[in-house]
Structure 1
Amino acid sequence: MKFYFFIPSLRRVSGGVIVLYRLAYFFKQAGYEVYAVHRGARGWRPWWAKDILSVVWDRVKLHKKDFWIVPEGWFNALLPGLQSNAKTIVYCQNWAYLFSALPSNCKWQDLDVDFWAVSQPVAWFIEHTLGIKTPILRPGIDLNLFNFNFKKNQKEINICYMPRKNSALARQVIQIFNQIIQKKGISHKINFLKIENLSQEDVAKVFAKAHIFLNTGFPEGCPLPPLEAMASGCLVVGFTGFGGWDYMRQIIPDKYIPSFPLRSVAWQGNGFFSADGDVMDVVLNLELAVQWILEKDQKVNKVLENAYKTACAYSLDIQKESFLNNFIKKLISNDSV
C-alpha cells in the first residue's frame, strides 16, 4: 500500500499545499511509502517535507491497493487513480471548488472516488449535496512559530490583512473605516499592514506586532491565517468563508451565524465575524474592535484567551494525534475512509 499525493506546482507559499504535504508527512511518519506527484517542474514545498520523495506524473505506476489523493478543483488529476482502479480520494479543502471544475456531463456519484473533508462545514456540505458522509482531516498550525503576545505596542494600533484575498473588498473596508475614524476625530495612529509574498516566518513577525487581523478571505474550507492570528494574540475581524465556522464563534451575542448546525467546541466567542461580502458589517466590527482596544476594555483579554484556546486545539500535535490515533487506525482496520 503506497500513498500518492498530487501536489499542484505553485511558485509561492500556499496553505492548501502545506496541508497536503503535512498529511503526506504524517503518512510517512506512520511507516507508509509516500510520494508527492507533480506535473512538470516541482513547485514550492515546505522545508520539513524535503524527505518526501517526488515523482513526475507520467512515471507513476499505481496498483489497486495504492491511494491516489487529489485536492478538489483538479478534476483531470483524478484520471491516473481512476484508470488504475487505485483508491482514489478527493481531499476537499474548499467546498466552493468541489463542483466548479466538474465537467457538465459528469457527476461525482458516477465516479469511483471517496472524499475526505478539511472541516465540519465542508463535511456537512458534501453530505448535504452528495449524501456522502466523509471523515474530517483538519489542518494544524505551528504554535512554535505563531506565538501568543498579550503585550503589544499601545502607542499605535496595527491592523494586518492579506490583500490577495478579495482585494477589492479589503480596499473598500479600509476606505470606509478610515472615513469613519476621520469623521469621529480619532487621533490615535492606526496602521494597515499588508501581508503579501512573505514566508511563514515573516508572516509570524507581522502577526506578532499586529493588534487586529482583518480576514477578507472567502470562500474557505478551514482558513489557517485567522488561526495563526489567534495564536499570535490578534483580534480577528472579518469574513468566515463558510469553512471558518469549524472554529469561529461570535463574541457579540445575536450576531450573524450560518444556517447549518455548528459543532460543539470547547471555547466561546473568539472574534468578530460577518456574512461573506457584508462590507459594512465588517467595518462596524472593526470599529468596535478598535474601540475596545483604545478603551482598554477587559473584553479584549477574554476574546484573546478564547482565541488562543481555539488555536491550541489546531496545533500540529493535536493534528498529528488525531491523524495517527483515529484516521490511520480506521484505515488499517478497513473501516470506511
Structure 2
Amino acid sequence: MTIYYLCPEHDTPAGGIRVIYQHVDILNRNGIAAYVVHNNPGFRVSWFENETSIVYWRNSPIERIRGKLKRRFYPDQVVELHIKGGKQATIGANDILVIPELYGPDLAWEYGKGIKKVILNQGCYLTFNGYSLNKKRLITPYHDPDTIATLVNSKNGEDYLKHVFPDLTLHRFRLSIDPNIFYFQAEKKKQLCFSRIKNQQDAMQVINILKFRGALEDFDIVPFINLPQTEVAKTFRDSAIFLSFGYPEGFGLPAAEAMASGCIVIGFHGGGGREFFDPKFSYPIEQGDIIDFAKTVEFVIKNYQQHPEKMLEKGRLAAEFIRNTYSLEIEEKEIVSAWQTILAKFNSD
C-alpha cells in the first residue's frame, strides 16, 4: 500500500504545494510509503529545497481513452492509474490517492475509479469551484464511495466542511512554520512589506491612502512576488510591519510566517487566519474595510516611531505564539495520527 499525493505543477511560491511535499516527507520518515504525483517527467518544485519522493503520470491519449471506456462499460472495475518513477507501475485498489480540493466536483470520478481517495482541503473557500447552481446536481467527491476521509488545515476550514457535510470523516492538522527559516529578529528596518500575489487592488488603495496623507514618513515600501522561500524569510526578518491583503483562504501562511519573523502584522485574516490573528500582538481588519486598514497602519507607524520597544515586544509575542502553536513537531504528530486512523479503517474494510 502506497499513498500518492496529486500535486499542481507550479514552480512559483505557493504554500499549498509546499504542504503536499511536507506531507510526503513526513509519511516516509514515519515508515509510510508516499509519493508526490506530477504530470511532466522530471518536474520538481525548486523554490524551496527538497528531496521529496516523486512519481509521474504515464498519461498517454490511449491510456486516457481506455480509462474512459472502462469507466463507462465496466463501472464495477477499478481503473488503475499508470505512473513511472516509483516502485510500482500503477496506482491501484491497494493504494490511496490524495487529491486537492481545487480539482472540482468530479475529481473522485476522473482519477482512478475504484481507488480509495482522501481529499486534501487547504482552501475551504475553493471547495465549490467548478460546481453548478443547478440545485438538483448533487455530484461531489465528498459523497463519493471512493472517498474515505478529508484532511483540512485550519479550524475555519474544519467548521466550513462540517457545516456543509456533517457526516464527513474529517481530520484537521496544523501547518508548521519552519523555525530554521522563519525566526525572530529584533533588528528591524523601518519598512513595511506585503505580497503582490494577493488582492493587488486593495493593496494599491491602502498604500496610496497612506502615501497621499504623508503617513509613510521614513518607512520604505517593500512589495514582493515569486521570491524563493529564503528571500521571503529575510524580507520578513528585516521588516517592522507586514500587511496582509489575503482574501478568503484556508489558512494564510504568509501572515503566520511574518509573525514568526517578528513582524507586526496588520490586515485581513481571510477566515483561515482568524485562529492566529490575536489582537494582543496583531491588528486584524475586517475583510474589505480599506479605510480602517489605512488608519490602523498609520496608527502603528506613529506608535513605532514613538515607542519602538513596545512595538518590538508585540513582534516578539507573535513570534513566540507561532513557534509554540505551529511547530514542526506538532504538524508531524497530527499528520501521522490522522493517517494512522485513515489506514486502520482502510485496512479493515
| TM-score bracket, shorter-length normalisation | 0.7 to 0.9
Aligned residue for 1:192, secondary structure, equals strand
SS of the counterpart of 1:73? Answer: helix
Q: After the TM superposition, which of the residue ranges 137-146 and 18-27 deviates more from structure 2?
A: 137-146
Structure 1 contact 62–81 (Cα < 8 Å) conserved? no
Q: Determine the structure 2 residue equivalent to 1:176.
A: 209
Structure 1 position 228 matched with structure 2 position 257 = yes
Instruction: Give, in angstroms, the shift of residue 211 of structure 1.
Output: 0.3
- In structure 1, what is the Cα distance between the partners aligned to 2:261 and 2:26? 25
Aligned to 1:17: 17
Take 1:145 and 1:118, find their aligned partners in 2: how far apart are those partners?
Answer: 21
| Alignment match, 2:331 | 319
Kindly provide the amino acid, as one letter, of the partner of residue 240 in structure 1: H
**Which of 148, 153, 177 is 1:141 aligned to?**
177
Q: Contact 2:47–2:228 at 8 Å: present in 1 too? A: no
CA shift, 1:9, in A, is 0.9
Deviations 1:57-86 (A, max 9, x none): 532423333111111111355345550x22
Percent identity for Structure 1 against Structure 2: 24
Deviation at 1:16, TM superposition (A): 0.8
CA displacement at 1:221 relative to structure 2: 0.7
| Aligned counterpart in structure 1 of residue 221 of structure 2, from 179, 182, 192 | 192
Runs of 5+ in structure 1 lacking a partner?
Answer: 252-268
| Contiguous gaps of at least 5 residues in structure 2 | 60-81, 84-89
- Structure 1 residues 29 and 13: alpha-carbon distance in aligned structure 2, compared to 1, 3 A threshold: same
User: Is contact 2:176–2:330 with CA below 8 Å preserved after alignment?
Assistant: yes
Task: Report the counterpart of residue 92 of structure 1 in structure 2.
Answer: 121
Structure 2 counterpart of 1:280: 291
Q: For residues 200-219 of structure 1, what are the structure 2 equivalents within 5 Å?
A: 200-219=229-248
Q: Specify the alignment match of 1:237 in structure 2.
A: 266
Change (3 A) 1:130 1:294: same
**1:295/1:93 CA distance change after superposition, 3 Å:** same
SS in 1 for 2:170: coil
Taking only aligned residues, the RMSD between alpha carbons, in angstroms, comes to: 2.3
The one of 303, 308, 315 equivalent to 1:292 is 303
Task: Give the structure-2-normalised TM-score.
Answer: 0.81
Contact 2:193 2:242 in 1 (8 A): yes
Which residue does 2:56 correspond to in 1? 55
Q: Paired residues, what number?
A: 309
Indicate the larger mover: 157-166 or 94-103: 94-103
- Going from structure 1 to structure 2, the CA distance change for 1:70 and 1:103 (only over 3 Å counts) comes to farther
Amino acid at match of 1:219: P
Structure 1 outlier segments of 4+, above 4 Å: 45-48
Work out whether residues 262 and 312 of structure 2, in 8 Å CA contact, stay in contact via their aligned partners in 1: no
The one-letter amino acid paired with 1:233 is G
Mapped partners of 2:56, 2:132: distance in 1: 27
**Alpha carbons 1:67, 1:89 under 8 Å: kept:** yes
> Aligned partners of 2:316 and 2:239: how far apart in 1?
16
Q: CA deviation at 1:332?
A: 4.5
| C-alpha distance in structure 1 between counterparts of 2:260 and 2:48, whole Å | 22
Change (3 A) 1:47 1:279: closer
Partner of 2:277: 248
Per-residue CA distance 1:217-251 (angstroms, 9 max, x = gap):
112111111111111110000101101113222x2
Q: From the CA coordinates, give the structure whose radius of gyration is larger.
A: 2
Following the alignment from structure 2 to structure 1, what is the Cα–Cα distance between the partners of residues 196 and 122?
21
Cα pair 1:5 1:20 within 8 Å, conserved: yes
